Amino acid sequence: MDFSSEPLSLILPAVRRALADAGRVTFSVPDPDLGLGLYAGEATSAGVHRPLSVWVDLADLLGAHLHTPEALGAGRIRLTLQQYASTPAPDAAGYGAEGDWARVNKLEDPVFLATFIEALRRVNPPDGGRVLALGVNSGRELGALALAFPDRNLEVLGVDLDESALAAARVQHPDFSFRLLDVNTLPLAELGTFDLVIALSLLQSPGIVPHDLLRAIRRHHLTSGGGLILGFPNARYLGGHLSYGARMRNYVRPDLSLLCADVTQARRQLQKHGFKVFVTGKYEVLVTAIPAEATTPTGLAF
């Protein structure tokens, strides 16, 4: 197939039908590199310009992998989309060291990496400060602490319900502490307070009541100048592929209503109790809360 001047409203159904029929489709389009400075849909001598991001989004929309584009010469490239095999989500395989979630490294998502480091620096725990990571799994994301604060020593405690995941976390971070604990029943006096509490992809988990957990953290586990970073997934993993948008059962396309409701509830609860709250991110929406009187530090960007 050749797409030069056709509108996307015609290209989308044609590519969808081809994928449904054969699981793979190849077509040629004007070279995106020749349309720098133009918006998607503007006409050029070679046809309608569309940046490569348009084709990346189209592939994600249709549940397909975009192969590396091939140069055809004369201002054109060849694109191939291959439909993903139908595979279960990672949570179907469990959360332990042998489950698929252990393969996920969020620090390889550039938007998450940059926004998480920005959030860490916004909370700005002091040198020697204490960090509590809830639902830490294998602890991959804790690697961002050294990137955010290369000159600081932090006392880090990670907790999870899966011992095999914690064993993997201990191997990755031998200087940190990890304990098998239920976040719903954290030992109050024994744990003490922390300068930073992190909870990524946890508050929407089964058995968690977000309002109650946030209240317990705020009352019992934060220092007077401490802050929180909460992560709310806005994506899913299928067959090793990160796909944008929070999915709901029986919905074909992502529905953001539950995500928006959960983020809004957390934001309101924290603002009500004197926190400044920032909402950032893409595939994982981060809610970062710091005391209202805290000064936002400079040098947040990574």
Confidence of residue 90 (pLDDT cuts 50, 70, 90): low
Predicted confidence (pLDDT) per residue in 258-285, tens digit: 899 999 999 999 999 999 999 999 999 9
> Quick one: pLDDT at residue 178?
97
- Reply yes or no on whether the pLDDT at 87 is more than 70: no
> Quick one: pLDDT at residue 197?
97
Place of tokens 């953001």: 256
Output DSSP code: residue 71. E
Residue from 125, 154, 94, 78 nearest 225 by CA = 125
Predicted confidence (pLDDT) per residue in 169-223, tens digit: 999 999 999 999 999 888 877 899 999 999 999 888 878 888 899 999 999 999 9
> Quick one: pLDDT at residue 89?
62
In which residue ranges of the chain is CATH 3.40.50.150 found?
90-291
Exposed / middle / buried, residue 208 (Cβ in 10 Å: 0-12, 13-18, 19+): middle
**Whole-model pTM above 0.85?**
yes
Output DSSP code: residue 70. E
Residues 6+ apart with CB under 8 A from 51: 32, 35, 40
Instruction: Give me the percent of the chain exceeding a pLDDT of 90.
Output: 69
Residue from 298, 296, 284 nearest 114 by CA = 284
Confidence of residue 226 (pLDDT cuts 50, 70, 90): very high
- Reply yes or no on whether the pLDDT at 92 is more than 60: no
> Quick one: pLDDT at residue 245?
86
Q: CA–CA separation, 263 vs 289, rounded Å?
A: 12
Q: Beta 76-83 vs 64-66: how paired, if at all? A: antiparallel
Interval 245-254 mean pLDDT: 74
Fold of 90-291: Rossmann fold (3.40.50)
Could you tell me if 183 and 208 are in contact, meaning their C-beta atoms sit under 8 angstroms apart?
A: yes
